[in-house]
Chain A
Amino acid sequence: MDEKTLDEIISRYDSPSGRLLGILSDIQNEERYIPRESLEMLSGKLNVHLSQLYSLVTFYSFFSLEPVGDHRITVCMGTACHVKGAGEILRNLEELLGFPVGITEEKREPVTTDDNAFTLEIARCFGACSIAPVLRVDNNLYGYAKPEALPTILKEYGWRRDED
């Protein structure tokens, strides 16, 4: 992130309340993750210790320090989704994307395919529990998700089956 963009982001926040998390979210919206250089620059500009910034980005699950793939798939693992079969959706996605089954729940961190096309992660409740189970790809929510429908959804984002 160049200095000008960062300055512009900082200028959006004139009150101290909610400022740091707001700036970090905006950086992530811009870059899709939080690059180390941006944190260093921010630390210098706001005179906040780098370690404090690191403790924030590692504490809050919304932030990612690693670059994410071209498309970010998030599976809701909230209660309603759990009851309606989110676990099966997640396992199917892991299989379709070629991850070891169970890895996302075990690591509780985003996993990215080798070709950088997809990042898979889990989240708690999107607040769309009425259409559970729910998954989100980039900014699009898909409700009433069924395992059979997953390949079709993935194809919208350029995924192909190996044998295709």
Chain B
Amino acid sequence: MLFNSYPFILLFLPAVLAGYFWLGRRSNLAPVIWLALASLAFYAIGSWQFVGLLLISIAFNYGVGYLLIAAKLAPMQRKAALALGVVGDLLVLGIFKYAGFVAENINALAGTHVAVHILLPVGISFYTFTQIAFLVDAYRGQVARYALPHYALFVTYFPHLIAGPILHHKDMIPQFERKETKYPDAHLILCGIVIFAIGLFKKTCLADGIQPLVALAFEARSPSFDQAWCGALAYTFQLYFDFSGYSDMAIGLSLMFGIFLPVNFNSPYKATSIVEFWRGWHMTLSQFLRDYLYISLGGNRRGRVLRYVNLMITMLLGGLWHGAAWTFVAWGALHGAYLCVNHAFNALVPNVPALLVRPARIVGAILTFLAVVVAWVFFRAESVTWALRVLHAMADPSNIVLGREEIAALVLVSIYAALVWLAPNTQAIMGYDHDNRRVGEALPAGRMRPLFLYGASLVLALGILGIQSHSEFIYFRF
């Protein structure tokens, strides 16, 4: 089921909200169970064949977590339990996500013809990562024992289940346990609807609106210079509005239930360095990779060279996490290389003269954006060869068409660029403060300025009117 669908907005969401608050008047546990069941129903509507796998995964991890938290195991046994949990999770992820890719490469190398066709369970990358983090923290002694319904809801919670943001148990489960979240809070519901509306608008009007231009670069056999740039930029903006729109919707939906989800995007295309870009793009994934992969590998504690090696490994695996294809590996490798260059530059030039700070930031922003666009070409292309063809066209200004279609594309891309660089992001508009559990505090003070309220109504209306029958989120593929 998609957030940007009429059945979800008009039927599923109102029904789940009504049931949640109705049960909330009677018990603190019943709404949790209701929401977990509703989340399973949400998952089952689109992917019924994988509900069993999801339930097994929850039971397995909860069981291993129990061993790590409650059972009195010797240190070696604890280590073995953690290894069992993490290896089990990665094995399942590996089989479903990477078996076909591995077989394909073995075939290419050995000339064999082994065919592996396994459907990818929706959301498996997300619910596997959240649970690995839970196990690692349980091993580190950082987890209190959680009741099964709360744990199950943490994993299945429908606003994030299919495409994130990646949640952390320490952030979520205490919120599920709080009694106050079970009563309808008009302010949170109002803010939730506005944030949801912004996300829906981003998805249905902005991301879906620019999607046709992507074909200029990625479906043409030999795009011209301007077509390749328009297509690559169109994808750059489509991906951002698609995924940040989804994240906004997830945050907005969750807020209606009184639950604060972490922010996942913070104007990444305004970044002045690639390090800053990763602090603003898919922030929960960046945090996961940092806390559970980069730091586990040794981070920057084992010297400069190993730091760069760790960065490369982290980004390569981060790329592979997005999909089982060499294009994602190339994308990860590029970002790993960018990060290494960025850190090396910072080490070589620790202080920029005051006079040059502003120009340096402008140059940094331009270079960062260009580097990101180049990497997205690999992310989007069908193959590395195809990506190289697009990049070749982007580097060949002698072949320019600039016909009617290209000029129209350029105008549209410019509008999106202005939105990305000049408009405030959702959390800035709404004053969303995840850490302090605050949102929209400036609104009542301004007596809900009519302009804001009616502007939000228009955004919601346009978001709903923009719903198309054949739209899907790019991140569903991961």
A and B associate in one complex: no
Residues of B within 8 A of A (CB): none
